[in-house]
């Protein structure tokens, strides 16, 4: 194992203004598997038909050896490096995916699929139930992270891609990376789980339950049947997003961004409007979130994260999940991430060491919290670029621009 600790000084975060320019980006791709290709879920139900929506970036080489699968987090989607159709904003990982970037689309063919249970084209609770002709709502079966990965494997089989050069993702995306490396070790050459864990803690389950209860307490939720009734539980979902967003940051980041500064006023209003900038910020986060996300999907995906426990599936011993693996790993954590702190990432490293795996560990020192993997963290970019370059040389992949 090699361990690296890097330091990032606090800085202002400036979002990129221009849209990404991924080479040969193809938008709006979907594949539907019919009743003859059901997906057996962990809950015992065969799900069909199944639609998977995905985006691709870059060019697939002749040997199909340059494929990188990017797995998105809870509130992400397939638009990792392309303009989001609902918001018009650049992709959530535009910093990492694109020409000349760490996941270089002049070198790699990148696939990002909307997860099972999502709300951006992949089958989920807002999809039509073929038995009723109406949205599934709560009749949609509960899914797991393993189910998400099985669906992605079906997509790769459809694309006739047998192996992945690398799988990468943060948070819930990192859970998918670990599941991929455990369930399909022969298909994964390199794995980059970032700011994640091998199981959810009781505290994280508790945070998710608060969010779910906020959604379900909204009268417009209608016991999950709001689509059929022409309503949307926007208030409950916005509160869930506000509460969750606090966990994605750190106390230092909140203080640096807002402190106790007032919002558009010089004195306290002595009421319950947004007196403080942090209140206004969280309200904005909540209201913009409901414009692009489905409330029931939020329930299902948070539950999938809660159920994730890789060791439990292997006799309670995490190392058993990676027994005999030949996959190369780069584990990344952030010092200010209290949602998935360094110690839970390090537990994965210890398990991989026990399994005899090739693993590097990078702890990035930053005050930006859990969301650091989505922000401008040069040391993270350097670490992932170096890991991918090393793995590519070991794999025999040609550098970008080679004939």
Report pLDDT digits (tens) over 308-325: 999 998 999 999 999 999
Give the per-residue pLDDT at 401.
52
Give the least confident one: 20-24, 53-57, 70-74, 192-196.
Answer: 20-24
- Cα–Cα distance, 105 to 201 (Å, whole number): 36
**221-240 tens-digit pLDDT:** 999 999 999 999 999 999 99
Give the per-residue pLDDT at 259.
87
Selection from 93, 66, 98 nearest residue 164 by Cα: 66
Per the DSSP assignment, residues forming a β-bridge with 70 are: 112, 168
Selection from 350, 344, 347, 354 nearest residue 323 by Cα: 354
Give the per-residue pLDDT at 398.
73
Give the least confident one: 224-233, 255-264, 333-342.
Answer: 255-264
Average pLDDT, the chain: 91
Torsion of CA 300, 302, 307, 310, to 10 degrees: 120
pTM recorded for the entire structure: 0.91
Residues 117-122: what's their mean pLDDT? Answer: 97
Backbone φ and ψ for 399, nearest 5 degrees, come out as -70, 165
DSSP conformational letter for 199: B
Residue 402 pLDDT class (50, 70, 90 cuts): low
Buried b (16+ CB within 10 A) or exposed e, 66-84: bbbbbbbbbbbbbbbbbeb
Total Cβ atoms within 10 A of residue 170: 30
Supply the DSSP string of 118-184, one letter for each residue: -SSSSS-TTSEETTTTEE-GGGSPP--HHHHHHHHHHHHHHTT---EEEEEEETHHHHHHHHHHHH-
Q: Do residues 177 and 169 lie in contact, with contact meaning Cβ atoms separated by under 8 Å?
A: yes
Q: Do domains 2-198+310-395 and 205-301 have the same CATH topology?
A: no
Q: Considering 94, 294, 337, 367, which one is annotated as catalytic?
A: 337
- Cα–Cα distance, 98 to 388 (Å, whole number): 14
Task: Please say if the pLDDT value at position 15 is more than 80.
Answer: no
Q: Cα-atom radius of gyration of the chain, to the nearest Å?
A: 21
Residue 400 pLDDT class (50, 70, 90 cuts): low
Q: Do residues 152 and 170 lie in contact, with contact meaning Cβ atoms separated by under 8 Å?
A: no
Residues 202-220: what's their mean pLDDT? Answer: 97
How do the domains of the chain map onto residue ranges?
A: 2-198+310-395, 205-301
Strand 328-334 versus strand 67-71 pairing type: unpaired
User: What is 2-198+310-395's CATH superfamily?
Assistant: Alpha/Beta hydrolase fold, catalytic domain (3.40.50.1820)
- Cα–Cα distance, 386 to 339 (Å, whole number): 26
**134-164 tens-digit pLDDT:** 999 999 999 999 999 999 999 999 999 999 9
Strand 50-57 versus strand 188-194 pairing type: unpaired
DSSP conformational letter for 106: T
Selection from 120, 111, 189, 193 nearest residue 154 by Cα: 111
> Which CATH architecture fits 205-301?
Orthogonal Bundle (1.10)
Residue 8 pLDDT class (50, 70, 90 cuts): very low
Residues 10-37: what's their mean pLDDT? Answer: 55
Q: Considering 171, 182, 250, 368, which one is annotated as catalytic?
A: 171
**157-207 tens-digit pLDDT:** 999 999 999 999 999 999 999 999 999 999 999 999 999 999 999 999 999
Residue 25 pLDDT class (50, 70, 90 cuts): very low
Report the percent of the chain where pLDDT is more than 70. 92
Task: Please say if the pLDDT value at position 275 is more than 60.
Answer: yes
Per the DSSP assignment, residues forming a β-bridge with 29 are: 54
Selection from 318, 348, 320, 353 nearest residue 332 by Cα: 348
Concerning whether 337 is annotated as a catalytic residue, the answer is yes
User: What angle, 0 to 180 degrees and rounded to 10, lies between the N-to-C axes of helices 145-158 and 295-307?
Assistant: 100
Q: Considering 208, 370, 371, 372, which one is annotated as catalytic?
A: 370
Task: Please say if the pLDDT value at position 330 is more than 90.
Answer: yes
Q: How far is CA 376 from the centre of its chain?
A: 17
Burial of 343 (0-12, 13-18, 19+ CB in 10 A): exposed
Q: How far is CA 221 from the centre of its chain?
A: 25
Selection from 180, 147, 199, 187 nearest residue 70 by Cα: 180
- Cα–Cα distance, 22 to 101 (Å, whole number): 10
């Amino acid at each position: 194992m090699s361990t690296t600790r890097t330091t990032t000084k606090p800085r202002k975060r400036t979002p990129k203004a221009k849209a990404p320019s991924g080479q040969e980006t193809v938008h709006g791709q979907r594949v539907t598997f019919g009743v003859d290709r059901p997906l057996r879920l962990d809950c015992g139900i065969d799900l069909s038909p199944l639609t998977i929506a995905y985006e691709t970036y870059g060019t697939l080489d002749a040997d199909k050896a340059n494929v990188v699968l990017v797995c998105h987090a809870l509130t992400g989607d397939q638009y990792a490096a392309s303009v989001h159709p609902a918001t018009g904003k650049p992709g959530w990982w535009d910093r990492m995916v694109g020409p000349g970037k760490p996941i270089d689309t002049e070198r790699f063919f990148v696939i990002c699929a909307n997860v099972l249970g999502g709300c951006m084209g992949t089958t989920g609770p807002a999809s039509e139930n073929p038995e009723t002709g109406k949205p599934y709502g709560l009749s949609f079966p509960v899914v797991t992270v393993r189910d998400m990965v099985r669906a992605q494997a079906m997509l790769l089989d459809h694309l006739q891609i047998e192996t992945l050069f690398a799988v990468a993702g943060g948070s819930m995306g990192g859970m998918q990376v670990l599941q991929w490396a455990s369930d399909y070790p022969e298909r994964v050459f390199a794995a980059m789980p970032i700011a994640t864990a091998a199981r959810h803690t009781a505290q994280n389950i508790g945070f998710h339950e608060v969010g779910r209860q906020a959604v379900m307490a909204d009268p417009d939720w209608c016991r999950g049947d709001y689509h059929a009734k022409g309503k949307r539980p926007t208030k409950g979902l916005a509160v869930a997003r506000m509460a969750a967003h606090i966990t994605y940051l750190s106390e230092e980041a909140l203080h640096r961004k807002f402190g106790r500064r007032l919002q558009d006023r010089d004195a306290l209003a002595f009421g319950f409007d947004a007196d403080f900038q942090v209140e206004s910020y969280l309200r904005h986060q909540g209201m913009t979130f409901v414009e692009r996300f489905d409330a029931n999907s939020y329930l299902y995906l948070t539950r999938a994260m809660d159920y994730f426990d890789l060791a439990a599936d292997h006799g309670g011993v995490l190392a058993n999940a990676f027994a005999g693996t030949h996959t190369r790993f780069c584990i990344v954590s952030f010092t200010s991430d209290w949602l998935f702190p360094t110690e839970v990432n390090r537990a994965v490293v210890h398990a991989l060491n026990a399994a005899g795996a090739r693993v590097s560990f990078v702890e990035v020192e930053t005050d930006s919290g859990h969301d650091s993997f989505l922000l401008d963290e040069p040391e993270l970019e350097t670490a992932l670029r170096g890991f991918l370059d090393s793995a590519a040389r070991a794999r025999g992949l040609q550098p970008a621009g080679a004939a």
